[in-house]
Amino acid sequence: MPRYALKVEYHGAPFAGWQRQADQPSVQGAIEAALARLEPRAHTIAAAGRTDAGVHGLGQVAHCDMEREWDPFRLSEALNFHLKPDPVAIVACARVEDDWHARFSAVEREYLFRILVRRAPETHDHGQVWRVNNPLDIAAMQAGADLLIGRHDFTTFRSSICQAASPEKTLDELTVYAAEGLSGPEVRFRVRARSFLHNQVRSFVGTLERVGAGAWSPGDVQTALDARDRAACGPVCPPQGLYLKRVGYPVDPFG
């Protein structure tokens, strides 16, 4: 069965997350239903990462197995037609080797998080940012972020229901920077690693927001990390500002 890699963009608000669920809408379920319109049978796709409810995808990657050969462009066009009106789009499609795997072949994931800094409620960016009322000290946030770079036991920053075998991960980048968004000034986070624990990025951002607001010092981040205790984590931020931006592979399947 020929295998195809799919680069997927989606707005996470209407979905209970990426993973297929029996009684709630999911991104995986929407794509599998579209595939069944092209080749009527049960389809199961695999993705590079399982995003939570409300989290968005800019460059999620999945793969599917088809019974017949498809031109990749025509497959993406057909899927996009059948995905309407769900806010899901196949932005690229490529034929890959039969043993290529969207999750296990990946060597890096990159996430983006957006905080909108303004007192007025967001309108155009509703559901796409986390809004905070007061300015944040980006330099202090970066000082705290720098303490998280490298290989650590991230027990403090993972969900209590995380199923990963080990809390040890290597964090390659956690950059905090200012940007001008559609609705006003934003603080953004660029986070890169080979893989992540459940709720790890949202735990980082929620904790660093406390540093930016002056409630924590950068050193408090080190104390929380060293505690290896979920109770030492700052508040976990809401999901709507989080985007799976990019998945890296030894060779880009999309060219």
Catalytic (active-site) positions: 52
- Find out whether 91 and 254 touch, Cβ atoms under 8 Å: no
- Considering only CA atoms, which of 113, 93, 192, 103 is closest in space to residue 148? 192
Residue 35 in contact with residue 44, Cβ under 8 Å?
no
How many angstroms separate the CA atoms of 219 and 224, rounded? 9
Query: 200: Cβ–Cβ under 8 A, 6 or more apart, which residues?
Result: 154, 157, 158, 169
